[in-house]
Amino acid sequence: MEIGMLPISASKRGKLLAAGYTTLHSIATTSITHLATDIEVSESEALEILNFATRNSALERSSGSNTNVIQGGQTAWDMLNEERFSSSITTSCADLDNILGGGINCKEVTEIGGVPGIGKTQIGIQLAVNVQIPLDYGGLGGKAIYIDTEGSFMVERVLQIAEACIEDMSEYSHHFHKDNQAYGVKMHPNSILENIFYFRVCSYTEQIALVNYLDKFVTEHKDVKIIIIDSVTFHFRQDFEDMALRTRLLGEMSLKLMKLAKNFSLAVVMLNQVTTKHVEGSFQLTLALGDSWSHSCTNRIILYWNGDERHAYIDKSPSLKSASAPYSVTSRGIRNSTSSSKRIKMV
Amino acid sequence: MANKLINQLGLPKSIANIFAARNIITAKALLLMEQRVRNESLAGHLPTRLKGLDEALCGGIPFGVLTELVGPPGIGKTQFCLKLSLLASLPVNCGGLEGRVIYIDVESKFSSKRLIEIGTKSFPEIFHKKGMAQEMAGRIMILRPTSLSEFAESLHRIKVSLLQQQVKLLIIDSMAALVLGEHDSGASRQQALGWHVSFIKSLAEFSRIPIVLTNQVRSQIGDESLMYSFQARSHSTKEDTPVTFDSHLVAALGINWAHAVTIRLVLESKSGQRFIKLAKSPISPPLAFPFNITASGIVLLDDNGIEMKGPEINNIHCQGQNALSNYERVRHQL
């Protein structure tokens, strides 16, 4: 047995076997505290055993850096290199893409909220279509998962947006590949629809069950690059008496989604509703689900009316500047705002 | 690419059961569309016979989602509902759904006399046939619950016939009266409303029928529309807009309700002309259509519609009030 290869005392070896650590792999993938409690040794001794195990085990650390001690960690330098190549999904509105640093980022959870009718579902559908833009056209060539909790996913509209997207791509290829006649766009609106995995959930239990199931689903469909939940709020707003339970469930769900985003390098977009709250003597609009929920996402975008124009404001982001940009909802989907007034406003 | 049945994916039994119960067998949007086009009559929409509105709504009132009609009293919401119930009971070859209609009439506004009048004026060739009027009016079932719980009970009872595809349209006139008469305080009312909204929505989803609800308006003092905290910060520095204390109309039942409905049609009266506006719709541009109420129900004066910019489309006007109340009196003399 591999345990026999470890240069440790026989009694420790016996304790390891008794605690169920039969292979070096099982020791290498456990944490120091667990090991220490399981075999009843001090933490420094456990650390020693761990080091031996990882050195001798067949596990190859992928980053090759000094992460032997802290399992599952990554240095900031490695992350920087990864981030350089991480991709983003365009929103089809150049101004919006600009303030987002290129688009909705993969490996991140983005929350988008706004009043009814501002265009949340429209952005959701646009992203589900845009994620499928082929690599040749600067897209990700991926598939989308659309989790519909409210029934606002209307297929006629998706078809409209898909057709417009294909037309735009044809125009683009026309401009840049004038000589190359064979460079036609081979996509058909039906194939765009085919690549959107649509789930309809009717209660919060279904929603949670589905999020738990997603890990397995995405493992089998590795080309899914975006998960859109429209809206994450609806089932948690109706008839929930135990607020503490709600906070717990929401917290768990958001952790799972974050894990999905990181592990599979996809983007998670959660659409949220608004509610009013009493602040400093007046009522203000705020995104629903409470204060603890506002920590659950990486980025938070609020869609609002600025006069007659729709604007998007980056409310919270670890890497993006607070800015707002105008956009519009047209028959072809989300596009740049056509007003000639001042564009991006830094706040 | 695997399009496996969920029960072949080896899920834990509890999750698989939930999905099977919800009929989530496969999960592709195209399949959804094909299924709907194949199985549903009229490709999933109930035409309202108002050309401009039907075009904007990709065919008509969509199946499986909640459509709300909101407007001041006397504007024509009940008239619209009467017309719709008639349209749903029409035979299929005349563009109807040939099904039963459940009309939840909370405020006792349903007038069968008016229904027959609309029918004979709009579809004379059908209604003058012997027995047709009786057959069609016989398909419309009126329920008059006096409380939310009674309402929920009646829904439970008709759930079976809903799921068996016999009922093709559910109209609730009005949702506001049902809810607002019930509780006093905000919190318990919101909770009761929340539960019923969820229930009605899942009913719509399972039975794939159109559900039309009417809503009232209430006045709101002050013209400061609600803002976010980041807006408030920049706004408070500008003191140029004078604060007025005019009251204006907003839809009742709150913002939670506004999120829950899928399509919101605002009916209003501006300078004596009535408009029906598509205030919230995932499939339509923001259009406003001028309309009148005639003997044959609602007619649009212009099928092209006026495109409205900005949040103006959500506002509810009630100008020319005298004209409306005059009309009410004339109508009731029928």
- Measured torsion, CA atoms of residues A272, A276, A277, A279, in degrees rounded to the nearest 10: 120
Q: Of B226 and A191, which is predicted with more confidence?
A: A191
**pLDDT on residue B288:** 93
**pLDDT on residue B11:** 46
Collect all residues with Cβ–Cβ distance below 8 Å to B133 and sequence separation of at least 6: B116, B119, B120, B127
In a domain, A342, yes or no: no
Specify whether A53 is located in the same domain as A137.
no
**pLDDT on residue A210:** 92
In a domain, A220, yes or no: yes
Alpha carbon distance A133, A164 (integer Å)? 12
Residues B168 and B99: beta-carbon distance below 8 Å? yes
**pLDDT on residue A63:** 42
Domain span holding position A40: 2-60
Amino acid code (one letter) for B88: A
**pLDDT on residue B1:** 25
- Report the gap between the CA of A170 and the closest CA in chain B (Å): 22
Residues A95 and A325: beta-carbon distance below 8 Å? yes
Specify whether A41 is located in the same domain as A90.
no
CA nearest to B206 within chain A: A202
Specify whether A155 is located in the same domain as A15.
no
Specify whether A210 is located in the same domain as A246.
yes
Contact list, B65 vs chain A (CB under 8 Å): 151-152, 154
Residues A163 and A330: beta-carbon distance below 8 Å? no
Q: How confident is the model at residue B5 (pLDDT cuts 50, 70, 90)?
A: very low
Specify whether A165 is located in the same domain as A300.
yes
In a domain, A329, yes or no: yes
- Measured torsion, CA atoms of residues B147, B250, B210, A153, in degrees rounded to the nearest 10: -130
Boundary-marking domain end, from A27, A60, A93: A60
Nearest CA to B66 out of B160, B147, B159, B169 is that of B169
Residues A300 and A317: beta-carbon distance below 8 Å? yes
In a domain, A345, yes or no: no
User: Which helix (H) or strand (E) segment is B295 a member of?
Assistant: none
How open is the CA angle B101-B106-B107, to the nearest 5 degrees?
120
In a domain, A310, yes or no: yes
Least confident interval from A101-105, B137-141, B158-162: B158-162
Interface probe for B, chosen from A145, A200, A329 (most Cβ of B below 10 Å), is A200
Cis check: omega of the bond before B174, within 30 degrees of 0: yes
Amino acid code (one letter) for A265: S
Nearest CA to B282 out of A227, A151, A89, A181 is that of A151
Interface predicted TM-score (ipTM)? 0.80
**pLDDT on residue B327:** 45
Whole-prediction pTM? 0.79
- Kindly give the residue spans of alpha helices, DSSP state H, lying in B164-236: 175-180, 186-207, 229-235
Specify whether A301 is located in the same domain as A154.
yes
CB contact under 8 A, A117 and B314: yes
**pLDDT on residue B2:** 27
**pLDDT on residue A255:** 93
In a domain, A344, yes or no: no
Number of domains in chain A: 2
| pLDDT above 90 coverage of chain B, percent | 24
Specify whether A85 is located in the same domain as A151.
yes
In a domain, A212, yes or no: yes
Specify whether A16 is located in the same domain as A93.
no
pLDDT at residue B301 tops 60: yes
Q: How confident is the model at residue B41 (pLDDT cuts 50, 70, 90)?
A: low
- Report the gap between the CA of A83 and the closest CA in chain B (Å): 29
Specify whether A17 is located in the same domain as A104.
no
Alpha carbon distance B67, B52 (integer Å)? 17
Contact list, A146 vs chain B (CB under 8 Å): 29
In a domain, A170, yes or no: yes
Q: What is the pLDDT along chain A (347 residues), one digit of tens a residue?
A: 466 667 777 777 777 777 777 777 777 777 777 777 777 777 777 777 777 776 665 444 444 444 445 666 778 887 777 766 668 899 999 999 999 988 999 989 999 999 998 999 999 999 999 999 988 888 888 999 999 998 888 888 999 999 999 998 888 777 766 555 544 567 888 889 889 999 988 888 889 999 999 999 999 988 999 999 998 998 888 767 788 888 899 999 999 999 999 999 999 999 999 988 887 777 788 888 888 888 888 999 999 998 889 999 999 898 888 999 999 999 899 998 876 555 555 55
Instruction: List pLDDT tens digits, range B57-116.
Output: 988 999 989 999 999 988 999 999 999 999 998 888 887 888 889 999 988 888 888 988
User: Which helix (H) or strand (E) segment is B222 a member of?
Assistant: none
Alpha carbon distance A303, A347 (integer Å)? 15
Least CB–CB distance from B30: residue in A156, A193, A302: A193
Alpha carbon distance B94, B256 (integer Å)? 38
Contact list, B14 vs chain A (CB under 8 Å): 209
Specify whether A118 is located in the same domain as A25.
no
CA nearest to A289 within chain B: B256
CB contact under 8 A, A286 and B228: yes
CB contact under 8 A, A212 and B15: yes
Specify whether A117 is located in the same domain as A262.
yes
CA nearest to A279 within chain B: B229
Q: Tell me the residue length of chain B.
A: 334
Q: What is the CATH number of the domain that holds A293?
A: 3.40.50.300
Q: How confident is the model at residue B4 (pLDDT cuts 50, 70, 90)?
A: very low
Q: What is the CATH number of the domain that holds A32?
A: 1.10.150.20
Q: Report residue B183 as tokens.
A: 């509780």
Residue A33 CB neighbours (<10 A): 10
Specify whether A165 is located in the same domain as A237.
yes
Contact list, A159 vs chain B (CB under 8 Å): 33
Contact list, B231 vs chain A (CB under 8 Å): 304
